[in-house]
Structure 1
Amino acid sequence: MQVCEVAIEPRYFEYDMMGIIYHSHYLEWFELGRLSLIRQLGFDYFDMEQSGYISPVHEMKVEYKRGIRYGESVLLKTRIIDNGGVKTVYGYEVYNGEGTLCVEGSSSHYVVRREDFKPVQFKKVFPEWYAAFAEAATP
């Protein structure tokens, strides 16, 4: 299993009036983690787009365990949970500076043709990506 770690310094505008990260910002961080993991595996999502394909979100799950408070540092861990050849599921964990798990979640993505949003088999259209994702996936 390969895990991509990204240190995040929350920006002031990401906090709500209670002094904790506003819930929707975690989704942005998940996307940051997903793209960072893809780069860590040696690929670039932009290259997928340039070849006429995109990978939209199919499903997003988030479980909030503890709010991240103003001034706390953040560590985002991203991994591939499942790489089934058509759909890829990514897992995310967000820790505060003390190492406490504050948020965990997942997102699932299909690869589709940009022109008509028709799903394609990831393993056939991007065999190198698929092989690297399969190797990096959680056992």
Structure 2
Amino acid sequence: MKSLLSIEPRFAETDQMGVIHHATYPIWYEMGRIKYCDDLGMPFKNFIERGIHLAVTELSVNYKKSTRFGDDLKLYTYLIGFTKIRSYFKFELYNQNNELVNTGFATLAWLDQNMKPLNIQKTHPDIFEVFSKHVVNES
């Protein structure tokens, strides 16, 4: 499953050159992950209420083309891997001309309230089952 998030960049997200600042993309990725969970029927806020945390352990951003204030952007987020303690997300950002302008990847670890690794399969099988069914095979 791919989740779609429409993004209208804010002027505050630009740098001195009028280009979207490089630090903005990981924030958009986070928005994409939250939307992805919502689309799965697993609202992100419910994880927090259940004492579950998702910590970013790896993040990469690939800038292919500049984006600017006024662009209409589409961020696709999908799960490319999932284990009992980690989730692997990929991000693709397209502009209004349907050009791929940015890609990213994030690894997140499932943690308990004490920030210790959480075996989501054992402790929350409902979450494990839903996420396991939605891994996208990239090949």
Aligning the two structures, in what range does the TM-score lie when normalised by the shorter sequence?
A: over 0.9
Structure 2 gaps, min length 5: none
Runs of 4 or more off by more than 2 Å in structure 1?
Answer: none
Q: Which moved more, 1:117-126 or 1:7-16?
A: 117-126
**What's the counterpart of residue 95 of structure 1?**
94
Q: What is the identity, as a one-letter code, of the residue corresponding to 2:117?
A: P
For residues 84-133 of structure 1, what are the alpha-carbon distances to aligned partners after superposition, in whole Å with 9 as ceiling and x for unaligned? Answer: 1211011101111111111101111111111x211011222221221111
- Counterpart-to-counterpart distance in 2, 1:39 and 1:87: 18
**One-letter amino acid of the structure 1 residue matched with residue 116 of structure 2:** K
User: Please, what TM-score do these two structures have when normalized by structure 1?
Assistant: 0.94
Shift in Å at residue 45 of structure 1? 1.7
1:65 maps to which residue?
64
> Which whole-Å CA distance do the structure 1 matches of 2:5 and 2:69 have between them?
18
1:55-84: CA deviation from partner (whole Å, max 9, x where unpaired): 111111111111112321110000001011
Do the aligned partners of residues 70 and 52 (structure 1) sit closer, same or farther apart at CA in structure 2, a change above 3 Å counting? closer
Aligned to 2:53: 54
Q: Separation in 2 of the partners of 1:68 and 1:131?
A: 37
Secondary structure of the equivalent of 1:119?
A: coil
TM-score (norm 2): 0.94
- 1:19: which partner in 2? 18
**Paired residues, number:** 137
SS at structure 1 position matched to 2:133: helix
In structure 1, list runs of 5 or more residues that go unmatched: none
